[in-house]
């Protein structure tokens, strides 16, 4: 009987380390399932090192936008790599079929976990806008006429997205994904219950904020979980399933919430979320296991140290970063990105303003379509259909055409990060078109489908802006891409929470035609940004002095 030879461990390539780090939403100098760039041999670096590098000490004085090798690469050579591979004190997988490795789990457990994570991710954005059609009832319940609070009670949820992920991400690196999933899911349920029974407006807003803080966990952890479980060949399918939540959730939520508010009252919007979240929480306890390889191997090394009495045993993926360093990287690096990088700041401003438009619509749709068209509470939720349809179309266009354009450039060997922005440049025109269309259609009291079609153009433009912006930041910052994306997320969440506060006053003064035209003119001023970076982005990166 012949036995299958044990697969030989193959050191990861540079692109594998960076790609997996991006999927797990941390910088590539923090270990992932295939290690980190800290312990990669110098020969794997895919580009010429700058003259400022001291090759003997690998002390880098470089700019993170220039594509130079990261300062955190250790000075290991191939001989040192070989020594580590043969070191009996290194703890790693027991061959290619090690059942501890999440990549070797059964298809049922793998895809069951993906489905649960996707369901939780869908629930988070669903809860952000589900009660939007019930805002007038909330105002009546709490005897408030403050128009600023009317918008803030919706947008405060996304304010939690600006702060929660900064804490959740480093904690997941220290303690694993599973404890963060379970604890955040439970806390999300608790704060949702609190919102459902809130006694006054102030308490309700505070509870909504904490819902957003803990509800953001699957958005931080989901892509990393999928990367832990699914091979690169099948990962696209799983990621598409996971991405449907952030795309559909904010638009499906108001449709459900509109009819539920009419039938049972606004508090039942939150009880509905509690019921779904509770069911998903029970499913997660039954189906989900820890998937982070560094955490699994660290637990294995700890168990072996106890069993053998050998204190020198250590995980191959062990990090030399202290908890304080992880928090510093998670919080300080994004701030530095925003304040020191023209590219990161400009793209984040563009995305932040367009994201704010989304929440301006969320906070005003109910008032517009009930006041201008006489929609009932339930039917008012259907006014979000145009936005959702446009968003789905935008995601399809980017996924199909954006990736194809980049792949063609890569195959020709002349790819630059700026090639990601062609889709964004086109999408930027749809936002002002949609805003002008929607605003003046409402102003003229046209058939209700006319402004809804206009919002479809807005949704199309939003997705064609968001997604290319993220991939551009990944391609520009590579090793530090997660910090750049975190900077983008923090700024856009702050702007989406705060800018809509003035939307009701704006419409009261300018009405819907000129009010949306004002937004459209601002969107027109932003249209040149991707064109400028397509033309001058490479030159900006060559002359920049951004250091972390």
Structure tokens at 443: 């102003």
Contacts of 138 (CB under 8 A, 6+ apart): 131, 153, 204, 266
3-class SS of residue 268: helix
Give the predicted TM-score (pTM) of the model: 0.83
Q: Catalogue all structural domains in the chain, each as residue range(s) with its CATH number.
A: 12-87 (no CATH), 105-308 (1.20.1250.20), 359-548 (1.20.1250)
Structure tokens at 92: 């790693």
Q: Tens digits of per-residue pLDDT, 47-90?
A: 433 333 333 333 434 556 655 444 433 444 444 444 455 677 88
pLDDT higher at 183 or 71: 183
Residue 419 has phi, psi (to 5 degrees) of: -65, -20
pLDDT higher at 259 or 37: 259
How many degrees, rounded to 5, is the angle at CA 324 between CA 477 and CA 45? 30
Distance in angstroms (rounded) separating the CA atoms of residues 119 and 158:
19
Distance in angstroms (rounded) separating the CA atoms of residues 181 and 311:
31
Output the pLDDT for position 445: 92
Output the pLDDT for position 437: 96
Longest dimension (CA), the chain: 85
Output the pLDDT for position 65: 65
Among 34-38, 51-55, 150-154, the range scoring the smallest mean pLDDT is 51-55
Which residues in 73-91 are b (16+ Cβ under 10 Å) and which e?
bbebeeeeeeeeeeeeebb
What percent of the chain has pLDDT above 70? Answer: 85
pLDDT higher at 154 or 318: 154
Q: Tens digits of per-residue pLDDT, 268-317?
A: 999 999 999 999 999 999 889 998 888 888 888 889 888 888 888 888 87
Q: What is the mean pLDDT of the chain?
A: 82
Residue for token pair 């699957």: 218
Q: SS3 breakdown of the chain: % helix, strand, coil, rounded to 5?
A: 75, 0, 25
| Mean pLDDT in residue range 30-40 | 67
Contacts of 99 (CB under 8 A, 6+ apart): 105
Residue for token pair 């700058």: 50
Q: Are 170 and 327 in contact (CB under 8 A)?
A: yes
Name the nearest CA neighbour of 517 among 456, 457, 439.
Answer: 439
Query: Is the pLDDT confidence value at 542 over 80?
Result: no
Distance in angstroms (rounded) separating the CA atoms of residues 384 and 358:
11
Output the pLDDT for position 33: 67
Output the pLDDT for position 403: 74
How does DSSP assign 161-217, residue by residue? Answer: HHHHHHHHHHHHHHH-HHHHHHHHHHHHHHHHHHHHT--SHHHHHHHHHHHHHHHTH
3-class SS of residue 315: strand
Which residues in 471-500 are b (16+ Cβ under 10 Å) and which e?
bbbbbbbbbbbbbbbbbbbbbbbbbbbbbb
CB-based burial of residue 21 (10 Å sphere; 0-12 exposed, 13-18 middle, 19+ buried)?
A: buried
Query: Is the pLDDT confidence value at 321 over 50?
Result: yes
């Amino acid at each position: 009987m012949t036995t299958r030879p044990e697969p030989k461990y193959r050191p990861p390539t540079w692109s594998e380390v960076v790609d997996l780090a991006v999927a797990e939403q941390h910088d590539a100098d923090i270990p992932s399932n295939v290690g980190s760039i800290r312990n990669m041999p110098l020969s794997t670096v895919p580009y010429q090192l700058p003259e400022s590098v001291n090759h003997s000490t690998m002390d880098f004085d470089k700019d993170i936008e220039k594509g130079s090798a990261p300062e955190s690469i250790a000075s290991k050579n191939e001989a040192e790599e070989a020594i580590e591979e043969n070191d009996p004190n290194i703890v790693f997988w027991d061959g290619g079929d090690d059942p501890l490795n999440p990549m070797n789990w059964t298809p049922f457990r793998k895809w069951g976990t993906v489905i649960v994570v996707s369901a939780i991710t869908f629930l988070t954005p669903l809860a952000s806008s589900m009660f939007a059609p019930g805002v007038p009832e909330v105002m009546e319940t709490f005897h408030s006429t403050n128009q600023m609070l009317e918008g803030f009670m919706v947008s405060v949820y996304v304010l939690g997205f600006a702060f929660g992920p900064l804490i959740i991400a480093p904690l997941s690196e220290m303690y694993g994904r599973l404890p963060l999933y379970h604890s955040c899911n439970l806390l999300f349920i608790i704060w949702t219950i609190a919102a459902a029974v809130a006694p006054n407006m102030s308490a309700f807003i505070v509870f909504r904020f904490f819902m957003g803080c803990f509800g953001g966990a699957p958005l931080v952890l989901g892509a990393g979980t999928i990367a832990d479980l699914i091979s690169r060949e099948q990962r696209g399918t799983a990621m598409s399933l996971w991405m449907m939540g952030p795309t559909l959730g904010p638009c499906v939520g108001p449709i459900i919430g509109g009819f539920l508010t009419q039938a049972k009252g606004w508090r039942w919007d939150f009880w509905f979320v509690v019921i779904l979240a509770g069911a998903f929480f029970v499913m997660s306890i039954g189906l989900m296991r820890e998937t982070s390889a560094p955490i699994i191997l660290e637990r294995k090394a700890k168990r072996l140290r106890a069993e053998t009495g050998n204190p020198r045993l250590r995980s191959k993926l062990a990090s030399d970063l202290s908890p304080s360093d992880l928090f510093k990287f998670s919080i300080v690096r994004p701030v530095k990105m925003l304040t020191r990088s023209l590219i990161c700041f400009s793209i984040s401003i563009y995305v932040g303003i367009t994201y704010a438009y989304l929440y301006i619509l969320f906070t005003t749709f109910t008032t517009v379509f009930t006041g201008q068209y006489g929609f009932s509470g339930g039917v008012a939720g259907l006014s979000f259909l145009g936005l959702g349809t446009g968003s789905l179309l935008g995601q399809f266009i980017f996924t199909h055409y954006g990736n194809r354009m980049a792949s063609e450039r890569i195959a020709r060997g002349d790819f630059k990060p700026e090639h990601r922005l062609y889709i964004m440049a086109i999408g930027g025109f749809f936002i002002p078109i949609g805003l002008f269309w929607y605003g003046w259609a409402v102003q003229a009291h046209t058939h209700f489908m006319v402004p809804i079609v206009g919002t479809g153009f807005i949704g199309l433009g939003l997705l064609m802006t968001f997604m290319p912006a993220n991939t551009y930041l990944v391609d520009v910052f590579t090793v530090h891409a997660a910090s750049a994306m975190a900077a983008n997320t923090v700024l856009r969440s702050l702007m989406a929470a705060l800018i809509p506060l003035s939307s009701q006053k704006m419409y009261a003064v300018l009405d819907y035609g000129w009010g949306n035209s004002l937004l459209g003119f601002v969107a027109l001023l932003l249209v040149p940004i991707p064109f400028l970076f397509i033309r001058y982005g490479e030159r900006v990166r060559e002359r920049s002095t951004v250091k972390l």
